[in-house]
Structures are given as structure tokens and as C-alpha cells.
Structure 1
Amino acid sequence: MKINWGTGIVLAFIGFIGFILFFVVRMSTDSRANHDLVTEDYYREELAYQQEINAQNNANKDITRLLLNKKANGLEIVFPNKLDPKKIQGTVSLYRPSNKQLDFDLPISLSNNHLLIPDNRLLDGRWDIKVSWEYNDTEYLHKEKITF
């Protein structure tokens, strides 16, 4: 049987479409292709975004600016010296974009103006750090990306 060029083009299109559909179905049903959002409650967090913007604006003032220093024994978060460390409350969230299993949160409890996150919890690579804290009923938020 002889196939002319028109039939060949139609067969090529059908083969290509079948090939694409095979991969679409395979990737949408495969459990290894995880399609999570960045956070579990993404849409709920989006509604509170204005509060986050206000907290970031509060944290960007010179009086309340945080410093993050990489040390040999870990990551040091330095709070301003003008603030009473006993009145500072909040959490430090460390997010690893490449591995959801490495994410963790730490409560802020200070005796001086420094908080040290030990090096054994921080693997080499990129970390997104979010320091959410409160001082005298005012919320502050500091976000930074850091690489070890």
C-alpha cells in the first residue's frame, strides 16, 4: 500500500497530538509530579496581605530594622538595641524552596538582642527567612533571602 504526502501529514499530526496527550495525562496523574502551591493556605494568606504590607513598612523604619548575619555557628538575627528584648514576641519562619520537608518555625524568646539559629538546622542552599514579631502591640515583618 502506498501512502501519499497528504495522508503522511495527517498521520504525523495524529501521532504528535497523541504523543502530547499521553504526556499531559501522565503528568497530571503521576504522584511524583507534585503540584503544590507555595503554602498550604495560599488563598487565605492572600486575604491578609495588606496587614503584611503594613508590618513590612513598620519594620523598614530605622528604629526597628533587623540585621541578619551569617556566623560560623549559625544565623544570627540582631534586633535593635533600643528595644527591650523581653517585650519582643513572634516567630522566625525558615522556608526552603527546594525541599518542603526542611521548612521550620522558631518562636522568638530573647534575653538579649540577638537570636541565634544553629548551623545544624541550616543546610547549604537558599533559604527564605520571614521574621514576624510584635513589640508594644505593633506588628513588624522582615523578609530576606539568604544563601549558605
Structure 2
Amino acid sequence: MKINWGTAIVLVFIGFISFILYFVVRMNTEKKYEHDLVTEGYYKKELAFQNEIDAEKNSKNLENNILIHTTIEGLVISFPKDKNSSDISGMVSLYRPSNKKLDFEIPISLSSSKMIIKDENIIEGRWNIIINWEYNDTSYLFKESFTY
């Protein structure tokens, strides 16, 4: 059987479309290819954006801001020493851009100016940390990206 050039072009198009559809279906159905790039409640967060800007400005105006570093124990968050640590309240949010199942939040409860997040809670890779804290009815916001 001899195939003319018109039939060959149609067969190539069908093969190419089948190839593309195979990968589209595979990427949408397999769990290992899930990548969440947007946080939950995106629009609700957008409405509170001005409060976030004000809190971030308050944080940048501090003489001593929050410091983050890693040790053998885990991630150490050092709050300003000129603030009374028992009056600091808020939330520490760790956000993993590549997998929202690894995201978690920890409430701030301090006995000293340092807070330690244990090593077993954080796996290697890129993380975004957001520390939303309050001291004497003033809100502060600290954001940073780091690789653990």
C-alpha cells in the first residue's frame, strides 16, 4: 500500500495531537506533578492588604528587626531585645511555594526573645516566612524567603 503526501500529513498531525493530549492528561492526573502557586483565601487576603502595608512599614521602622538563622536544632527567630517578650503575640506562617501540604502556622508564645522551630517540621528547599506580630497594640509584619 502506497501512502500519498496528504495522508502522511494527516497522520503526522494526528500523532502530534495524540502526543500532546497524552502529556496534558498525565500532568493533570498524576499527584507528583501538583504544584500550587496561590494561597488559599487569596481574595480575602487582598482586601486586608493596606493593613499589611502599614504593619510592614512599622516593622521596617524598628531599630532592631527580627533576625532569622538556622542552627542544629532548627530555625531560630530572634525578636527585638528592646521589646518585652511576654507582651509579643502573633503568628508565624511558613509557606512552601512548591507544595501547599507542607505549609504550617505556629502561634507566637515567648519566654525569651528567641523562638525555635524544630528541624523535623521543615524539610529542605525554598520557604517563605511571614511573621505577623503585635506589641502594645501596634501590628508588625516581617516577610522573608530562605532556603533551608
Same fold, judged at TM 0.5 (above): yes
Aligned length: 147
The alignment status of 1:40 with 2:43, answered yes or no, reads no
Question: Contact 1:96/1:103 (CA < 8 Å) preserved in 2?
Answer: yes
Superposed counterparts of 1:20-35, under 5 Å: 20-28=20-28, 30=29, 32=31, 33-34=33-34
Report the equivalent of 1:12.
12
Report the equivalent of 1:100.
100
In the alignment, the residues of structure 1 paired with residue 26 and residue 122 of structure 2 have an alpha-carbon distance, to the nearest angstrom, of 35
Structure 2 unaligned blocks of 5 or more:
none
Superposed counterparts of 1:12-91, under 5 Å: 12-28=12-28, 30=29, 32=31, 33-34=33-34, 36-63=36-63, 65-91=65-91
Q: Provide the TM-score with structure 1 as the length reference.
A: 0.81
Which amino acid counterpart does residue 77 of structure 2 have in structure 1? I
- Higher mean alpha-carbon deviation, 134-143 vs 63-72, is at 63-72
In the alignment, the residues of structure 2 paired with residue 120 and residue 6 of structure 1 have an alpha-carbon distance, to the nearest angstrom, of 61
Deviation at 1:36, TM superposition (A): 4.0
Secondary structure of 1:101's counterpart equals: helix
Deviation at 1:115, TM superposition (A): 1.5
Structure 1 unaligned blocks of 5 or more:
none
Report the equivalent of 1:128.
128
In the alignment, the residues of structure 1 paired with residue 8 and residue 77 of structure 2 have an alpha-carbon distance, to the nearest angstrom, of 66
Report the equivalent of 1:144.
144
Question: Contact 1:58/1:64 (CA < 8 Å) preserved in 2?
Answer: no
Percentage identity across aligned positions?
Answer: 55
In the alignment, the residues of structure 1 paired with residue 53 and residue 138 of structure 2 have an alpha-carbon distance, to the nearest angstrom, of 13
In the alignment, the residues of structure 1 paired with residue 30 and residue 74 of structure 2 have an alpha-carbon distance, to the nearest angstrom, of 36
